[in-house]
Amino acid sequence: MNNPLTISPREGDTASTVAQYHRYIDELLCLAQQALVEKDRDLALQFWQLHIAMLSIHVAIEDDCLAQVSGEEQKQWRWPASLYVAEHAKIIQFGSKVEARLKALPEVLTAPQIIAEIDFQRSYKNLLQHHEEREEIALLQEMASTSPAVMALFDRRISQQWQDCYHRQKHSLTLLQQHLVRLKG
């Protein structure tokens, strides 16, 4: 099994590649929460910002591709494109709220502050994970059969932009992970 922070795109298997990006995005969130548990606000914020950076690029490409699927093609889908687009907007907005809360916290956190943040992030995590699951069990399968041209475009965009972001994040992510390991002692 892949480490969730390692993405190995599989040629011709867009669904698997997208799922790997979802696990990567989930793992960045989990690292932000681990930093919170270690009482380090700055570290949590930096993991969170990597999470949001990848998520924003991810969502922008999905929105762009969804806009190119006709209503006729969507008739065979379990959920319409508008639902995915609305969820994207909600997730991004919620993610910004989490970031604003993290920025407003002191650098060294108390136990009640940590609990309050993790509780607040629970709803965000549920929203994000349900959305990803919807895409994995329905959208990606349906888009491949109803809209192969859009799926091919999606595949090209993924390989260009998501991979660029993934490679850009690698160095800072390694440094942040090392910092987290030191905190855990």
Ramachandran class of 80: left when φ > 0, alpha when ψ lies in -120 to 50, beta otherwise: beta
Q: Is 62 in the site for Fe ion (CB under 5 A)?
A: yes
Question: Residue type at 150?
Answer: V
Q: At what angle do helices 41-66 and 14-37 cross, to 10 degrees?
A: 160
Nearest distance in Å: CB 77, Fe ion: 14
Considering the complex, state which of residue 40 and residue 62 has its C-beta at the smaller distance from Fe ion. 62
Q: How far is the CB of 134 from Fe ion (least distance, A)?
A: 8
- Minimum CB distance to Fe ion smaller for 78 or for 103: 78
Point out which span in 106-114, 128-136, 141-149, 175-183 binds Fe ion (CB under 5 A): 128-136
Length of the chain: 185
Would you say 135 or 155 has its CB closer to Fe ion? 135
14-33: contacts with Fe ion (CB under 5 A): none
Nearest to 94 by CA among 63, 62, 129: 129
Report the nearest approach of Fe ion to the CB of residue 133 (Å): 10
- In whole angstroms, what is the distance from residue 87 CA to residue 110 CA? 33
Taking the least distance from each CB to Fe ion, the nearer of 135 and 142 is 135
Contact 21, 61 (CB under 8 A): no
Cβ 16 to Fe ion shortest distance, Å = 13
Q: How big is the site for Fe ion, counted in residues (CB under 5 A)?
A: 2
Long-range contacts of 56-61 (CB under 8 A, 24+ apart): 56/92, 57/161, 57/162, 57/165, 58/21, 58/25, 58/162, 59/88, 59/91, 59/92, 61/154, 61/157, 61/158, 61/161, 61/162
Q: What is the pattern of x (binds Fe ion, CB under 5 A) and - over residues 144-183?
A: ----------------------------------------
Region of 4-12, 58-66, 148-156, 167-175 interacting with Fe ion (CB under 5 A): 58-66
Q: Which stretches of the chain bind Fe ion, using CB under 5 A?
A: 62, 135
